[in-house]
Structure 1
Amino acid sequence: MALLYPAKVISASSKKGLNYNNSSSLGAPSEVSVLPISLLVLSGICVLASLLPMVPIRHGLIRIFDFARLQVIGLSLLVLGIVTLTEPGTPTGVLSFAIAATALMLQVIFVLPFTPLWCKQTMDASSDPEKDATISLLTCNVKQGNQDHSRVTDLVRERCPDIAIFMETDQVWARALAPSLAEFAEIVEHPLDNSYGIILASRFPLNDARVRFLLNDQVPSITCIATLSNGEVVRIIALHPEPPVPTRDTMGRDAEIFVVGEEVREERRPVIVTGDLNDVAWSRSTRRFLRISRLLDPRQGRGFFNSFHALYWFLRWPLDHIFHSTDFRLVTIERLPEIGSDHFPMFYCFELVGAKFGAEPPPATEADFDEAKMAIDTEKKRDRDPAGSDWE
């Protein structure tokens, strides 16, 4: 005999208090909490990436954070935007916003001088500069493994620079460039198969043209004195120091830059230093180089002119540089179309005015000279292959 129990009647109103499939108590809470936690983590990454470059340690694991300032700015702005739209007023949102805003402020301090919002360090040339008083330069890291030689040779013929400088040139590249450089008056070259080969071609007569090995017998640089059409002379130094890598320090790169900085500080002739310095314009070492050398950076007050990486728009920063004494005013600075390399070619033209123009960088401190001496002395005692010599 079956026992009958009275059915429990659940009214519609009581159903509201029960939830047999309550998404808020099952999977949804963890899903909802992912976003604020992710924003907090991303903002923490941004501020960490902003603080690490301030650590005075010359190691690739630290110094690589000098490079990605524009990327960190982009990520910080993304975090700020998402927090504003999705987490306004929540404790986690407020914390994420504050951290991301701090990172953004720190990064902007370093990159702002390379925007039109800043004062120009190099003055603009006159509207109609005298041709005999100008000097144009094409600098190009061709990438040793790049087989698209014709795009580089076509560029040389199209732009007709007074000085053309090519880095990462091996014997294959030297032969490929030879026809387009035949009309240049002088060529100084040292092709190598370790990604450090270098070639300088000049339409001007050259004096004291030499290939030098400043600190490493596998890393050449070129120095020469070019006589312009009006008879004025200009000292030109082209270099391509080691790149920073996460497995070793950046002493080799920094020391080579500092050697040149101390050398040109005593130079009484107009001087230009250019090349792929494997360093960004706003780094500790580049700013120290400018203070020691007393040279100017024409990008300040004009733009970033990011020359690397040519193939990835989201991973770009200014690696190819030109610095000059205060004897020059700027006619043009251009980043040219890509030529199959991971670097964009750069084209510059200056007017030699024979007077001191533009703002000067802050004076070097005793600490600047001490740091430079320490880096140079350390690197002089070393005997090692340069970083990246086995990449191609």
Structure 2
Amino acid sequence: MIVEWILRGLAVLTATVSLLPLIKVPHGAIRGLAFPRQQIFWLCLFLLVAALWAGAPVWVTAVFGGCMCLQSIYIAKFTPLWRRQSVRADDALQADNRRHISVLTANVKMSNRDYPRLIHLTQRVSPDLLIAIETDQPWCAALSEALADDYPHRIDLPQDNGYGMQVFSRLTLGEVETRCLLTDGVPSIRCTVTLRSGALVRLYVLHPEPPVAFHDTKGRDGEIALTGMQVAQDPLPCIVTGDLNDVAWSTTTRRFQRLSGLADPRVGRGFYNTFNAFHWWARWPLDHLFHDPLFQLLTMQRLPKIGSDHFPLLFALALGHAPQRVDQLEEACPDETAEAVEMIREERDRDRRPIGDDWEEKAE
């Protein structure tokens, strides 16, 4: 009897945490529940087996089975069972390295002071661009001293609030803009990158605020949506990368794809979970790269730990000559665009400190 009542309670709990993210309320207490969809799926599978073994009521087993199905609707896209969104580069593009660009994105965790691990990793994989997130002045100094000879082009944006960033590039950077899109103290970078072929592409680097239980997510959601709108108007083929503090299957990320028209190379390939590097049982994909359909994918890898709570990601793309068809991608409807515009306007009118701007100080 006790086991049955425990299973009843767990059925109500799993149904609640599975259904709440369906409510399109931009608040961390709701949006954060969408992060552990993989974990909830496996938990429900275990509980379903336990319920069948214990002879629990039919509604209990039905709830566990229904929650599994609901979670699988979101996460199945990020398995090899799904059709891939990013096209694999053809032989001609693979051979033409003048049209290649490789990007290593790493959230270093500002309080992590193990600089050599990222430096040695960068030197080993030798990307065209290194994008370091959460860099403060000591991080910028350490990376600059070690990598300056190999990476002559650099954008330094150190901050001591966990929102700093730095870009190292072997390729020429131009039209550099560093701006706080919505919230003071939460910067982003936009610039052009000149490929070896001479072609220009646009790079956007983001690190919006994380969702927390005591605050709404309008800052994060608005910044991601605004970037999507800017990408849609950009005449150059675009790459958007960084720690988006959002999972690949969320309402916010899917809206970003509809607004921008960019492809997610994870779809049809794998989760490539990057956070939390410290806990194998609680990981989800927070670090991303989205690309214009003109690009074709060469490689994508999650790299070893660097002392941070995030794993680094390495992407290599080739700029094609004609856009590839991006399956499963819809355009944003007028109501969705209007809703995003209103959220952006509201967030711009607020005067507040960035969420978690003192977390890394406490960690030290």
3-state SS of the aligned residue for 1:174?
helix
Equivalent residue for 1:281? 248
3-state SS of the aligned residue for 1:73?
helix
Equivalent residue for 1:116? 80
Residues 1:194 and 2:161 aligned together: yes
The CA distance in 2 between the partners of 1:129 and 1:220, in whole Å, is 37
Q: CA deviation at 1:126?
A: 2.0
Residue 129 of structure 1 contacts residue 351 of structure 1 at CA under 8 Å; is this kept in 2?
no
TM-score normalised per structure 2? 0.96
Equivalent residue for 1:316? 283
Among 168, 175, 178, the residue aligned to 2:141 = 175
Residues 1:253 and 2:217 aligned together: no
3-state SS of the aligned residue for 2:95?
coil
The CA distance in 2 between the partners of 1:350 and 1:45, in whole Å, is 43
Among 84, 98, 102, the residue aligned to 2:66 = 102
Q: Match of 2:235, as an amino acid?
A: R
The CA distance in 1 between the partners of 2:42 and 2:6, in whole Å, is 16
Q: Match of 1:123, as an amino acid?
A: V
Residues 1:38 and 2:6 aligned together: yes
Q: Match of 2:88, as an amino acid?
A: D
Q: CA deviation digits over 1:284-326, x for unaligned, max 9?
A: 1110110011111110010111000000011100000111110
Q: Mind listing any 5+ residue stretches in structure 2 that lack a counterpart?
A: none
Residues 1:291 and 2:230 aligned together: no
Residues 1:141 and 2:113 aligned together: no
- What is the root-mean-square deviation in Å for CA atoms of aligned residues? 1.0
Equivalent residue for 2:24? 56
Percent same amino acid at aligned positions?
44
Equivalent residue for 1:16? none
3-state SS of the aligned residue for 1:312?
coil
Q: Mind listing any 5+ residue stretches in structure 1 that lack a counterpart?
A: 1-32
Q: CA deviation at 1:178?
A: 1.2
The CA distance in 2 between the partners of 1:162 and 1:371, in whole Å, is 37
Among 300, 325, 332, the residue aligned to 1:333 = 300
Among 118, 123, 132, the residue aligned to 2:98 = 132
The CA distance in 1 between the partners of 2:39 and 2:185, in whole Å, is 33
3-state SS of the aligned residue for 2:57?
helix
Q: Within 5 Å, which residues of 2 pair with 1:362-381?
A: 362-381=330-349
The CA distance in 2 between the partners of 1:201 and 1:212, in whole Å, is 18
Equivalent residue for 2:235? 268
The CA distance in 1 between the partners of 2:315 and 2:117, in whole Å, is 19
The CA distance in 1 between the partners of 2:152 and 2:138, in whole Å, is 22
Equivalent residue for 1:7? none
The CA distance in 2 between the partners of 1:319 and 1:345, in whole Å, is 11
Q: CA deviation digits over 1:169-207, x for unaligned, max 9?
A: 001101111133212121001100000000011111111
TM-score normalised per structure 1? 0.89
Question: Between Structure 1 and Structure 2, how many residues are aligned?
Answer: 356
The CA distance in 2 between the partners of 1:130 and 1:34, in whole Å, is 66
Q: CA deviation at 1:358?
A: 3.3
Residue 28 of structure 2 contacts residue 216 of structure 2 at CA under 8 Å; is this kept in 1?
yes
Could you tell which deviates more after superposition, 319-328 or 121-130? Answer: 121-130
After TM superposition, which residue ranges in structure 1, 4 or more long, deviate above 6 angstroms? none
The CA distance in 2 between the partners of 1:189 and 1:173, in whole Å, is 10
Residues 1:357 and 2:321 aligned together: no
The CA distance in 2 between the partners of 1:357 and 1:180, in whole Å, is 38
The CA distance in 2 between the partners of 1:252 and 1:305, in whole Å, is 25
Q: Match of 2:44, as an amino acid?
A: S
Could you tell which deviates more after superposition, 359-368 or 66-75? Answer: 359-368
The CA distance in 1 between the partners of 2:256 and 2:339, in whole Å, is 11
Equivalent residue for 1:151? 117
Residue 184 of structure 2 contacts residue 354 of structure 2 at CA under 8 Å; is this kept in 1?
no
Residue 156 of structure 1 contacts residue 180 of structure 1 at CA under 8 Å; is this kept in 2?
no
Residue 46 of structure 1 contacts residue 100 of structure 1 at CA under 8 Å; is this kept in 2?
yes
The CA distance in 1 between the partners of 2:18 and 2:203, in whole Å, is 35
3-state SS of the aligned residue for 2:29?
helix
| More relative contact order, 1 or 2 (CA 8 Å, 6+ apart) | 2
The CA distance in 2 between the partners of 1:370 and 1:110, in whole Å, is 25
Q: Match of 2:125, as an amino acid?
A: R
